[in-house]
Structure 1
Amino acid sequence: MNINRKEMLASLTDTLEQYQTGGASEMIKKRRQDVLRVTMSLSVIDIVFNIVGKTTFPSFCWLNIGMLVLLGIVYGAYLLDRLSLISSISIIFCIILTDLSVELLVISFDGYEKTTLFLLMDAIIFTGMMCMTIVTYTPLLTIVCFLTGLVTSSVSLYYNSNTEIDNFYLFLVCLEFFITYLSIKVKINTVHILKEYGEVRSSENTVLDFFQMDRSQLLGYIKLAQKCNLSADETDQLLNSFGQHAKVNIAGNISMLIKQKEADLERIQKCLPELTPSELEITRLILQGKKLKDICEILGKKAGNVTSQRTNIRAKLGLNPDDNLFEALQKRME
């Protein structure tokens, strides 16, 4: 079967590229879209509550309005295909991180009595955003969230030292560090899995293209090929499963195999005329270096039957128990 290596490599590359932009990445795209919608919805709800006076700091009203406008512009650009999905998520996350950081730092510098509460709330929000970045397979964004939260919270704690919050904050930092590590590992493993699965799909497509079949036809062929003692109709059906080019190649290869087998048996029979046809077949496989298990599988016989015939061959050759059958047959064939 002569297949141009360059053409096969190009085919595999094209198939892999098509796959990587196909089914698996569609799943990732859907998850990213879900995260974008959830993030936008929660942000808008929070901003609206703050604007209507639910927040403790009315001075943040204009900051929240500006944030709402920016989020609307980014999301609108995404809907109009002016921004990619991953760019939209990254920009929206950066806007939210900036808003949280500014609010927390202003509260800390003003010495607000409930700074500790805001610090805990922001730390939880930072952690939640980091978890979302795992779902979107964006470890770089996870690192940005981690570093922004770490710096902002550390500055806030410096101006508002509290023993109880210090201990809890250390736990949050460890948790966020673990989430960052997990995000990176998930990304690496996902890329590895996509690459391996892409290679499998590429190989599958190459096989299907060669046999000119779809998957169901190939499975039907395999099921039929596993049967022994096929009828004439089943044999014809098996051959018709292949494309014309493949059928010609297979027929030629089988023909050559049969001729080679007959020639080997004829040569062995001349050197060992005392052997039966069944013993000649086993002798041919022994001379090929086949072991007992291989011979049983090739001939479809049980180990006891093959062992018995090997014993008969040894007896006809006049071998002692310690003599090597393979070496003795080679000498007789010389």
Structure 2
Amino acid sequence: MLTTINITVCYILVLIANISILPRISLVCTCINIISMFLCHYITDNSMCSQLLVIFGFTSVATTIFGFVANKLFREQQMELDDYANTIDQVLNVFNMRKNELLALLKLAKAQDTTAVYDKELMAQLDKKTLHNIIKVANQIEHMQACQRKDMHERFPMLTPTELDVCRLVEQGLAINDIAKVLGKSASNVSTVRGNIRKKLGLAQDADLRRALLDYKNV
């Protein structure tokens, strides 16, 4: 009876350690519990007690393994949340803006119709300094893309503006679905454009388009 109580108490300590996300402590408790059960099994000849020891031993090990897996998943999720929070903080620092301004900007940027009148309440949440920073970054991005288009046109004068845009994004390593989102087109349309580019460049259908574009760039 005393042995059963001692083993039960040890298992409860293992369970508490796992629930508390304390993997090292739970491992120590499990080891102590297993050693205690081996000693009890060695000292006691009672078959019923031996069966009980096996059940408690298996349960303790299973609980500890579950605790380690749960702890790993918890830490991975926590790291993802920390990375997400750090990314948000970096964006806020770059644009020198508040969180409510960032949310307003994202809602405005999500608008599908670029000719539509934007929500005045959302616009009012962006102060003058924030708007200045956004416009400055947008102008720099537009200038960079214009230079990329010019470079692409000089290398591939036979391509259309849409094909040049697709080439530019392929060079950046974007997948078909990502290119479709950037250009506001369907994935099938982008795939067709990629096929036209391959034909004009004399590439096989299974050739790596990005590698071919980079090779043209380095020539």
TM-score by length of 1: 0.43
Change (3 A) 1:161 1:225: same
Could you tell me which amino acid in structure 2 is paired with residue 256 of structure 1? H
Aligned match of 2:86 in 185, 188, 202?
A: 202
Could you tell me which amino acid in structure 2 is paired with residue 226 of structure 1? K
Q: Deviations over 1:136-159 (max 9, x none)?
A: 221222122222223333333433
Change (3 A) 1:155 1:258: closer
Q: Which has the higher contact order (CA 8 A, sep 6+)?
A: 1
- 8 A Cα contact 1:221 1:238, kept in partner: no
Q: Could you tell me how far apart the structure 1 residues matched to 2:145 and 2:43 are?
A: 89
- Larger-gyration structure (1/2): 1
Q: Match for residue 284 of structure 1?
A: 161
More off after superposition, 200-209 vs 211-220: 211-220
The alpha-carbon deviation at position 187 of structure 1 amounts to 2.8
Aligned match of 1:249 in 123, 131, 136?
A: 136
Q: Could you tell me how far apart the structure 2 residues matched to 1:295 and 1:137 are?
A: 43
Gaps in structure 1 of 5+ consecutive residues: 1-116, 273-281, 311-321, 329-334
- 8 A Cα contact 2:100 2:125, kept in partner: no
Aligned match of 2:123 in 226, 237, 259?
A: 237
Q: Could you tell me how far apart the structure 2 residues matched to 1:299 and 1:135 are?
A: 48
Q: Match for residue 49 of structure 2?
A: 165
Change (3 A) 1:161 1:250: same
SS at match of 1:213: coil
The alpha-carbon deviation at position 259 of structure 1 amounts to 6.7
Q: Could you tell me how far apart the structure 1 residues matched to 2:181 and 2:69 are?
A: 47
SS at match of 1:148: helix
Change (3 A) 1:144 1:218: same
Change (3 A) 1:255 1:198: closer
The alpha-carbon deviation at position 205 of structure 1 amounts to 1.0
Q: Could you tell me how far apart the structure 1 residues matched to 2:150 and 2:124 are?
A: 27
Two-structure CA RMSD over aligned residues (Å): 4.3
Q: Match for residue 75 of structure 2?
A: 191
TM-score by length of 2: 0.61
For the pair 1:175 / 2:59, whether they are aligned, the reply is: yes
Change (3 A) 1:176 1:284: same
SS at match of 1:196: helix
Aligned match of 1:298 in 183, 191, 195?
A: 183
The alpha-carbon deviation at position 166 of structure 1 amounts to 0.9
The alpha-carbon deviation at position 209 of structure 1 amounts to 1.8
- 8 A Cα contact 1:126 1:145, kept in partner: yes
Q: Could you tell me how far apart the structure 2 residues matched to 1:259 and 1:144 are?
A: 62
Alignment of 1:88-107 (within 5 A): none
The alpha-carbon deviation at position 175 of structure 1 amounts to 0.9
Q: Could you tell me how far apart the structure 2 residues matched to 1:123 and 1:283 are?
A: 77
Question: Could you tell me the percent identity over the aligned residues?
Answer: 13
Q: Could you tell me how far apart the structure 2 residues matched to 1:191 and 1:159 are?
A: 41
The alpha-carbon deviation at position 130 of structure 1 amounts to 0.6
Gaps in structure 2 of 5+ consecutive residues: 171-175, 203-219
Alignment of 1:206-225 (within 5 A): 206-225=90-109
The alpha-carbon deviation at position 300 of structure 1 amounts to 6.7
Change (3 A) 1:137 1:258: closer
Change (3 A) 1:298 1:141: closer
Could you tell me which amino acid in structure 2 is paired with residue 224 of structure 1? L
SS at match of 1:167: helix
Q: Could you tell me how far apart the structure 2 residues matched to 1:185 and 1:263 are?
A: 53
Could you tell me which amino acid in structure 2 is paired with residue 211 of structure 1? F
The alpha-carbon deviation at position 258 of structure 1 amounts to 8.9
Number of residues of Structure 1 aligned to a counterpart in Structure 2: 181
- 8 A Cα contact 1:286 1:326, kept in partner: no
Could you tell me which amino acid in structure 2 is paired with residue 229 of structure 1? T
